[in-house]
Structure 1
Amino acid sequence: MSKRGGADDKALALAKGKRIRGAEDVLKKVQALAAQLKNSKEVEKTLAELDLPYNCREVVDKDGEDVMGEIEAAMYSVAASILEGEGFAFDVPSRAKGNQMYVPELDRIVLRDAVSKRPFASTATCRKAAVTTRILGLVHELLGKNIHVTKRDLFYTDVKLFEDQSQSDAILDDLACMLGCTRSSLNVVASEKGVVVGRLSFREDGDFIDCQRMGVGGKAIPPNIDKVTDITSDASFILLVEKDAAFMRLAEDRFYNTYPCIILTAKGQPDVATRLFLKKLKSTLKIPVLALVDSDPYGLKILSVYMKGSMNMSYDSSNLTTPDIKWLGVRPSDLDRFDIPQQCRLPMTEEDIKTGRRLLEEDWVKSNPEWVRELELMLASKVKAEIQALSSFGFQYLSQVYLPLKLQEGDWI
C-alpha cells in the first residue's frame, strides 16, 4: 500500500507510469496560472461600452428604499392607467428564450430589452397579474421591515393563490427584472444549498468563520452574500465541484491541506447564492477557478451556468457569472487516458446526445476548440461517466491520484 493513504500500487500504475511529485511541484502550473491572473490588467467590459444593434436589460443592486420607490412607482402607474380608463396591466420584461443572447465581447448571456403587457382583464394573464400584485405587496412589506425570507416562506404566505412554488419563483424573477434590481435586493433568498470548505476565512454578519474547521460537511454558503466581509485565504486555487459526493470525499481527505485550495459545491444545478459567492471569491482573491464535473452534457451545462449565465436569469448575468473557469475534469479524453473500466462508462441516452449536439451549436463553445474536441469525442463514443467512476480504483483515487496528476500537468482547458 502506498504511503499516500489509500491509493494502492495498482491505482498508481493505472496513471500510465506517471508519478506524483511533491505538493510544491504539483502546484507549480497552478501558481503560474494564478500569477498570470493577478498580473493581468483586463477590465471587465460592460453593456454600455458596446455598440450593440439592440438594447439590453440589466439590473443592479439597490437598497431597500430605492426598491420600495420602484414598487410604489409601478403601482402609481397602474392606478393612473385604471383612472384613465385603460385598465389594469403591468409592463413586464419578456424573459422568453428568443430574447436571450450570447454576447462574445462580454462572454456571457444577456437579455434583450422587450416588454410585454400583463393585463388583469385578460383570461390568459389575469391570474399572473394578481400574483404579481400580491408579491409586489409582500416584497414592499419585507423591505419596509428590513427583514429577509426564503422563497419557500414567500410561497406559504398565499399557497391558494400561488398554487406552486415554481410560479411564485418565476414572478420574483419577473419583478427583479421589472424593477431593475438584483433578486437579492428584494430581500427574498433561496434556502441554503451550496457549501464551502478549505483554506478560507471570512466574517458573516460580523461572526468569524474558518472554513478549515467546518468538518466534512463544510460551511453552508450564506444566502445573503452582502453580509460576507473580510475574505482572506492562502489558497492557490478554487476547486468548483459539481456533486456533493465528490465534495465530501475531498473534504474528508483534507485535500486542501496538501494542496492549498478552497472547495465549494452547489450540489448540482447552481443556485444564486453559490454563483454570487464564487464570483465574490474570484474577484477578491484573484486566484484560478478549476471545475470538476461529470463527463456528460449535463455536467457541462452546469459549468456553463457558472461561466456564461442561465437563460432564466440572463438579466442579472453581470453579477452572477465567472467567465474564466477552467475545465479540469472529468473530461471525455480522461476516460481512456486513466483507463476508466468499461463497466463504469454509461451509454448516453438520446436526450444526452441531443443536449450534447445543442451545446456544440452554442457560440461560446464554438469559440473554444478544446471544448469542441472534447464534446465531439463524447458524442462519437456515445458514453458518459460520473466523477464517482474514479472510485473503481479506490475510494481515495480522486484526491490522491487523479486530481494531483491533473494539477501537476496543468491539464485544464
Structure 2
Amino acid sequence: MHDLIYGIGALAGWIAFVYKLNHLRQDWTNPALRAMVAAFGFSAVAFTLTVGLVYQPIDAALGVPNLTKLFIHSFMVLFSVCVLQLLAFWQYPAPRARHRARVYWAVGLVIVAAMSALIVVAPIHDRYTIHFWKTHAGETLMLWYLVMFLVALSAGLLAIAYRSWHFAGLTAQLPWLRRGLRLTALGALVSFGYCACRGSYLILISADVRVEPLVDIAQPFASLGQIVFFAGLTMPGWGPKTRVDQLSAYRALEPLWSALHDAFPGIALHSAAEGDSVAVGDVNYRLYRRMVEIWDGYLALRPYLPASAAVRPGEPLASDDAARMINEGLKNRQEGYEPAAALPEQPPSVQDNELEWLIAVSRSFARMRARELDHA
C-alpha cells in the first residue's frame, strides 16, 4: 500500500512536470514558470524515491543505507521554496519578487544543510529499513532531523495556503485563475495533514508513547494533497476561455492602458525593461495586472476629470461615458488645467462583468482618439 500511495503521487507529479515543461520550452526566460516546473520536478522526484522499488537500488548504489531519505526530505523542502518563489512572482513586481526568492532559497538551503549534517552523523546507516520513521524517530539526532524537516515543510505549506487564498481574492474577474489558486490553497492544507500526523507522532514518541498508525495515516494526505496542488497550479490553462481569447482581451485593453500609462508611468508594476515576461508568462496574470493598472490610472486621473464625472456611489456608468470622461481628463491634464479638489478614491460601478466593461471602455476610448486624429 505504501508504494501504491506514493506511486500515484509520483505519477501525478511527472504528468504535471511534463505538462508545464512544454510551456517552459516556449518561454524559457519566464522565472515564475521556471519556478513552477522546478517545484513539480522536486515533488515528482521525491515521491518517486519514496517507492521501495526505486529507494532500495539507490541506497544500494550509494552504499549508505537510508541516505536516500535525505534526498526525499530535501526535495520536499525545496519544493516549498519553489512554490513560494512562484507566488512571489505572481504577486509582486519583479525586483521585489527576486529579493523574496533569494531569501526563500537562502533559508531553504540552510535547512537542507542542517538536515544533511544531522542525518550523516546519525547512527542509522547500519541497515536498510523501509519503516524509517517507526525505526529511527526515537533517536535523538533523527528526532531533531525530522522535527526540522516537518517545521520547514509545514511553514512552507501554510504560507502557500495563505498566500494562494489571499491572492485568489484579488482575481475575481479571472475565474479560472481564482479557482486554481483556491485549489492550490486546498492542496497545501491537505498536504499539511501529512505534517500534522507525523508531527503528532514525534510529539507522542518524545513522551514515550508510540502511536504508529499516525505514520501510516499521513501517507494518503501527502499524495492526495500533491494531486490537488498540481491541479490547482495548472488549472488556469483549463478554462473555457482559451489563451487566444485571453490574449485578445489583454490586447483590447492596450489603448486605454497605454494612454493612462503615458500620463502616469508609476501605475506600471513592471518597468518597460523588465516587460511582462519577467513577472509571469501566464496571460491570466498579465490580464489581471493590466486591469489593476487601469484602475490605478483612473484613480490618479480623477482630479482632472470633468464635473460630469461625479457619479453617485453605486450608480452604474456606461462604458461610452467613462471613455469620454477619461479622454477629457487626459486632455485637461495635458493642457495644464489646475486639478480639482481631490475626489473620493472610488472607481465607478460597473453593470456586469468588469473585464467586459473595461474592454468596452477601451474600445470606445480608441474610437474617440481615432476620430480626433481624423479631424485634426
**TM-score normalised by structure 2 residue count:** 0.31
Structure with greater helix share of residues? 2
Larger Rg: 2
**TM-score normalised by structure 1 residue count:** 0.29
